[in-house]
Structures are given as structure tokens and as C-alpha cells.
Structure 1
């Protein structure tokens, strides 16, 4: 068992519960930054290990057993009924590329040969895909270099973070403020940027962000 195996398992447990690493820490009553990449090594470059108390709290918060966590440590994720799930790779492109033609079909599913791939914790949606954030327009929620996993099949509720494509071809990551029979209102993740309001007819598709590598 190595240092990276433990942290990978924490990231995988977060993803299994639709959370980022910081979201998992918050759910467990820990400092939201407890599992941030910057906390995984000390100022001297030496590896830092999560405490047994922290591990116990995240297992309790997610109603998971030590056997589940052990499976994630070994790199063989399990679901919460103990059924082994195979490792999975999903398509990845940069968010800035996503508005270009040829990456999505009319239903918003990833298509074409221009995608890269990444290995991820188990995601049940067979059409899930990943986008890499670039720039500062979504700080402080998502930062340059973060990867988000998006699920076309996930139900969307008010307050969810979503990826939206407009009929004009623009793809953006926002928070769903409100959706009516005719309108959709989106909040920018960066408070320095304006919110948006669209007619539903101007939206091609909207998918929920289910995980982020923060």
C-alpha cells in the first residue's frame, strides 16, 4: 500500500457519492481543504497521510464499510452492495474545445475521434464524459486544470452545477438557478461574471456535473 493509493481511494469514494474531495471532507465534518492536493504533501515535499480519524469520519458519512474502502485502495472499486465493478475510462476534452463542431451529437452525447480518455472512479452513466477547465472564469469553484465529470443521464435540480450548450454553439459550466416552462436562469460560478437567462428553445442540452477533481 502506497501513499497515492490511499488518496486515490479517497477521491474514488468521493466520486461514488457524487462529491468532490472537498465536498466529501465537508460532508464528514472536516475542514473542506483537508483532502486538497496541497495537503497531501508537506512543505518539505514529504508525503502526508490522512489520519485514521478522518478515514473513519468519511466512511461513516458515506455509510461505507472498510471493505469498500480497501477495494478502492487496491484499485478495484466496489459499489455499496459489494459487487465488483470494473475500472472505467471515459472521453475527455477541454471545456474550451467543447463548443466546436464534431464533439457532441444532437442529444449531447460525446462522439468523434478528437477525444482523449481518462481513468475514473466508477460512474454508472455509460455516456458520461470529462471536461478539463481552462482559465480563471470559473474560479473559485473550478480552477484552471481541474477536471469535471458530466453525466447526461443524471437528474437535474435547482442549485446543481451543470454544463449547458446553446443553439449558438457555446458551452458553459454554470449553476442552475431556476427553470420554468419557457426560461432557464443560470448563475456564473465566478461572481465577477454575469448571470444568464435563456429561452428553453435556445438551449440544445443541459447535463449535470457529478464530480470534480479539486
Structure 2
């Protein structure tokens, strides 16, 4: 759990309630500037955590449970409906990451197609195009290991620092961390430090989807 993940979760909670960060603070009875970007960095230049008291007030004001807030922190909220914590309720397509670069598994938009996918049962997923990948090899250690399952949401918003699955025009499919994105290029960081980082022109990328959950 990082500072960015907590602040991003607060921003997402504000958006869910149709509020700005300032509006969320006011709704919780806090100073309107409590969640401003300037308050997220201390006088020494280090990232600051929101106080537990502030978080408690925000959760109370928005009737949000800790499990739902944790889903926003981890990114699961992009795939799971709010408050969904029940048993497995839906089956989604599953394929091995090594297979994903082959033809016939994705359409031009990056959505799973064809009859060669396996299936896996997961909690109810909000994104109708979500799919699962089974990790193979050690290229994503120590974050994801051989045999781990990750759920990928084509519809989830992507920000710097998110873990993503990317397909290139050459048919390569890789799981990386989005380091930086500009209007023309993206920089990707390898999860395994023994592997190189990558940079691509956007014209070289067919699609990029966010990993919203991993079975580590």
C-alpha cells in the first residue's frame, strides 16, 4: 500500500459520490483543503498519509465500509460492484499469458473473443469484458509468480503506477507497470528488476488494459 494508492482511492470515492476532493472533505466535516494536492506533501517534501481520523469521517459521511474502501485502494472496485463481497457468481474467460499473443483470442479493441478460452469463476465482475490471465515463468516476479491468476479490466481507468497488460502491434503481450504516458509515448517498468524496461510510441501499442486483481 502506497501514499499514491490511498490518495487515489480518496479521489475515486469522491468521484463515486459526485464530489471533488474538496467537496468530499466538506461532506466529512473537514477543512475544504484537507485533501488538496498541497496537503499530500509535507514541508520536508515527503509524501503524507491522510490521518486515520479523516479517513474514518470520510467513510462515515459516504456510508462506505472498510472493505469497499480497500477495494478502491487495490483497484478491485474497477471490476467489482460496490459492496459486492459475496461468493463466486460469474465465469470469465481465462487464458495463459504465453498464449495471449497468438491470433484469435482478442478482437481489434482488445476484448476476448473466440472459443479457445478456458473459464474461471470469480466474484461478480462489473466490467462485461473482463478476463483472466494465468502467469507463466518468472518475468513478473516477485509481484506475480508462475501459476498466479490476474483479472484484467479493459474498462478500468489507467493511471501512472498501475499494473497493466499491453499488446504491441507485433503481437507481443506483456504485463508491466505504467511508468509514464505522454501524448505520443508510454514508458513501462518491468515487474522483475532482472528484466529490462520498455518504451513504445503509442502507434506501436494495440491496447493497454489494467490489472485489477491478482491471486498472489
Q: Which range, TM-score by smaller chain?
A: 0.5 to 0.7
- Establish whether residue 155 from structure 1 lines up as the match of residue 122 from structure 2: no
Structure 1 length-normalised TM: 0.63
Superposed CA RMSD = 2.5
Question: Of the candidates 63, 66, 81, which is equivalent to residue 61 of structure 1?
Answer: 66
Q: Deviations over 1:109-163 (max 9, x none)?
A: 0001110000001210000000000011110000000000000000000000000
Question: Of the candidates 111, 114, 124, which is equivalent to residue 113 of structure 2?
Answer: 111
Q: How does 1:53-132 map to 2 (within 5 A)?
A: 61-62=66-67, 79-80=82-83, 87-132=89-134
**Is residue 93–residue 118 contact of structure 2 (8 Å, CA) maintained in 1?**
yes
Structure 2 length-normalised TM: 0.62
The answer for the alignment partner of 1:55 in structure 2 is none
Q: Distance in 1 between matches of 2:137 and 2:115?
A: 25
Aligned length: 144
Q: Distance in 1 between matches of 2:68 and 2:196?
A: 39
Q: How does 1:1-214 map to 2 (within 5 A)?
A: 61-62=66-67, 79-80=82-83, 87-214=89-216
- Which consecutive residues of structure 2, in runs of 5 or more, have no partner in the other structure? 1-8, 10-63, 70-79
> 3-state SS of the aligned residue for 2:203?
helix
Distance change in 2, residues 1:128/1:63 (3 Å): closer
Using the TM superposition, give the Cα deviation of residue 78 of structure 1 relative to its aligned residue in structure 2, in angstroms: 8.1
Structure with more contact order per residue of length (Cα contacts < 8 Å, sep ≥ 6): 1
- Which consecutive residues of structure 1, in runs of 5 or more, have no partner in the other structure? 1-16, 18-58, 65-76
